[in-house]
Amino acid sequence: MAFNKNYFPRQEGDPPPLTAVCERRVRFEEVDVLGMVWHGRYPSFFEDGRIAFGDRYGLTYFTYVDNQVMAPVVQMHLDYKSPLRFDDRITIETSLHWAETARLNFVYTIRNPQGQLAAAGYTVQLFTDLQGVMQLMTPEFLLDFRRRWRDNHWA
Amino acid sequence: MAFNKNYFPRQEGDPPPLTAVCERRVRFEEVDVLGMVWHGRYPSFFEDGRIAFGDRYGLTYFTYVDNQVMAPVVQMHLDYKSPLRFDDRITIETSLHWAETARLNFVYTIRNPQGQLAAAGYTVQLFTDLQGVMQLMTPEFLLDFRRRWRDNHWA
Amino acid sequence: MAFNKNYFPRQEGDPPPLTAVCERRVRFEEVDVLGMVWHGRYPSFFEDGRIAFGDRYGLTYFTYVDNQVMAPVVQMHLDYKSPLRFDDRITIETSLHWAETARLNFVYTIRNPQGQLAAAGYTVQLFTDLQGVMQLMTPEFLLDFRRRWRDNHWA
Amino acid sequence: MAFNKNYFPRQEGDPPPLTAVCERRVRFEEVDVLGMVWHGRYPSFFEDGRIAFGDRYGLTYFTYVDNQVMAPVVQMHLDYKSPLRFDDRITIETSLHWAETARLNFVYTIRNPQGQLAAAGYTVQLFTDLQGVMQLMTPEFLLDFRRRWRDNHWA
């Protein structure tokens, strides 16, 4: 099934997205009575994707805590394309798309063991302080991160 | 926080959405280390909303099975507005919006115990036969349901 | 199916157990591909039972926090007797059994809509301070609670 | 903390248990507001253990289905020894203990990244046919499996 949604269109001058890939195996408890992974479990797949991204690029929950911020998900979108089954080894590709403001725009692509698209989606995270107050200024560590990104640090 | 997204704009001549309301109490296991309900649990809240809708309007999992179809979620969208906490009694309002084709468009609004908007979102469901083959024709039971809807059966 | 396990045999002179009852409806997401509630979801049923118990007798998570303690589960046991199905309205009966030491011994009985035994089990909770250090002395609020229990406060 | 419970004592003449080991990383969604893995998530760790065991010894969900049986968990016991934290890489050791009758007795040991005991427990599985009727006779494939076990097939 073709799928060419462009959740966060790249603007002229933006560095290309940064991408990390991880795998996961579908658990018995994740499959419903119809033999398919219940749609409400995919946020956990996305979370695994963000973790893999954080591992690779140094942008983790601990980074946030060290910098006195939290990064709550304020929007999540999922498009389901083909069912996943018990014991499927799935591949989760997670890309951070460039943004100028205090936000993280992640795009996720999940593939089944045959490499076919199973699902795609995105999340948007904003920043708050540790009391939950929204931070409109981009945190300094993220500005640093973006400087390295623009400098092709990981290319 | 104001919130006036119009996920499925009503077309001229469409009957108004049908709505059901249910309550749920936040479980200890649903709250993360930051003291907020983890964003990935809200699909379960939406599911409760659909169940309450089905109870009220006679459109349930068993209706689908009796009519030899399944109604998988093919799209889900969530906007998170304010955190939910352990033991919060939340209100889930679920509305089915009119569509002419073989699909179900549900909109969800979740409110915290103070009545403030905590989250909103939507799902899209399509129909397959019991082997998972997509059905482009609207199932007869849904055409019947829509006739009653148009006739203000529940007004 | 007969079931007469006596998880915490009552000693001579012990007040009878205190009991609370609650209901829950099996969710679609809790049922596995075999059409039965996955065995690993029952701890959530037990948790609902403890919550109902706490509501009735004033022994909640907030009671613990107010008294600067936590009450982690250190042992859990489950006996599965007959399967639960999607949409089953189940009954959870939760009893606190008398103990002299710094612990909470809860017994749970889960019944299906026909009133048949579906599962039973128990949990043991001990007390720690807010840093997680085990408390061997019974907290004062629990001694108070037990005085009321012995005085038939809820009889 | 010492832990030397002997859930299924080995009888004279029994072959030694068969053991498989796997790893897992604690997810954000598995940790509660106290910063510890919620006790009700450990059944999923045990399930991963059984999957790893099945991979190694050829005793999987698919083996059961191919042989027209199911192997429901009829008893589960968990002893919690020390908390697990977000992002902990945990080790799950799973051992099948010898039994003569139509049952599977698994013992699980979970260790934290420092190698300390975090939890232990066991499950008992019996066999039913695909309609859920209990099978008192040991299935032929399990008798074969036990012959290989006794013959030190995996030693």
| pLDDT tens-digit readout, C87-123 | 999 999 999 999 999 999 999 999 999 999 999 999 9
Q: Could you write out the DSSP letters of every residue in B70-119?
A: E--EEEEEEEE-S---TT-EEEEEEEEEP-SSSEEEEEEEEE-TTS-EEE
**Length of chain A measured in residues:** 155
**pLDDT given for residue B3 in this prediction:** 55
Chain D residues with beta carbon closer than 8 angstroms to that of A65: none
Instruction: With cut-offs at 50, 70 and 90, classify the pLDDT of residue D148.
Output: very high
Measure in Å the smallest separation between the Cα of B120 and chain A Cα atoms. Answer: 10
DSSP secondary-structure letter at D35?
Answer: S
Tell me which of A46 and B153 has the higher pLDDT: A46
Instruction: State the chains in contact with A (3 or more Cβ–Cβ pairs under 8 Å).
Output: B, C, D
d(CA A81, CA A90): 14
The model's pTM is 0.96
d(CA A121, CA A71): 18
CA dihedral A4, A7, A10, A16 (to 10 degrees): -80
Angle at B82 between CA B81 and CA B86, to 5 degrees: 140
Candidates B23, B42, B44: best to mutate against C (most CBs of C within 10 A) is: B44
Q: Is D65 helix (H, G, I), strand (E, B) or coil?
A: helix
State mean pLDDT over A115-140. 96
d(CA D95, CA D83): 22
CATH class assigned to B18-149: alpha beta
Residue found by looking up tokens 């009727």 in the block: D133
d(CA C40, CA C32): 11
Contact C32 A35 (CB under 8 A): no
Using CB atoms within 10 Å of the CB of residue D67, give its burial: 0 to 12 exposed, 13 to 18 middle, 19+ buried: middle
Query: Residue B4 pLDDT more than 90?
Result: no
- Taking Cα atoms as reference points, which of D87, D1, D108, D91 lies closest to residue D36? D87
**Length of chain B measured in residues:** 155
Query: Residue C43 pLDDT more than 70?
Result: yes
Tell whether D37 is within 8 A of chain B (Cβ).
Answer: no
Q: Is B68 helix (H, G, I), strand (E, B) or coil?
A: coil
Average pLDDT of chain C is 95
Q: Tokens for C142, please give them.
A: 């629990």
**D151 contacts D143 by C-beta, under 8 angstroms:** no
**pLDDT given for residue D2 in this prediction:** 44
d(CA C36, CA C17): 31
**D106 contacts D18 by C-beta, under 8 angstroms:** no
Measure in Å the smallest separation between the Cα of B54 and chain D Cα atoms. Answer: 29
Give the list of residues 6+ apart from residue C124 with CB closer than 8 angstroms, or none. Answer: C73, C74, C75, C76, C103, C104, C105
CB-CB neighbours of A50 under 10 Å:
25
State mean pLDDT over D83-98. 98
**D5 contacts D77 by C-beta, under 8 angstroms:** no
Q: Where are the domains of chain A?
A: 18-150
Give the list of residues 6+ apart from residue C146 with CB closer than 8 angstroms, or none. Answer: C98
Using CB atoms within 10 Å of the CB of residue C50, give its burial: 0 to 12 exposed, 13 to 18 middle, 19+ buried: buried
Tell me which of B76 and D1 has the higher pLDDT: B76
**CATH 3.10.129.10, applies to C18-150:** yes
Q: Tokens for A15, please give them.
A: 């560095």
Query: Measured over all CA atoms, what is the biggest interatomic distance in chain D, rounded to whole angstroms?
Result: 49
Q: Residue A20: which H helix or E strand, with range?
A: strand A18-25
Residue found by looking up tokens 């720690």 in the block: C128
**pLDDT given for residue C4 in this prediction:** 57
Instruction: With cut-offs at 50, 70 and 90, classify the pLDDT of residue D153.
Output: confident
ipTM: 0.95
CB-CB neighbours of C4 under 10 Å:
5
Residue found by looking up tokens 């979370």 in the block: A47
Query: Residue C51 pLDDT more than 70?
Result: yes
Tell whether B34 is within 8 A of chain A (Cβ).
Answer: yes
Tell whether B79 is within 8 A of chain A (Cβ).
Answer: yes
Tell whether C83 is within 8 A of chain A (Cβ).
Answer: no
- Taking Cα atoms as reference points, which of D120, A88, B26, B58 lies closest to residue C77? D120
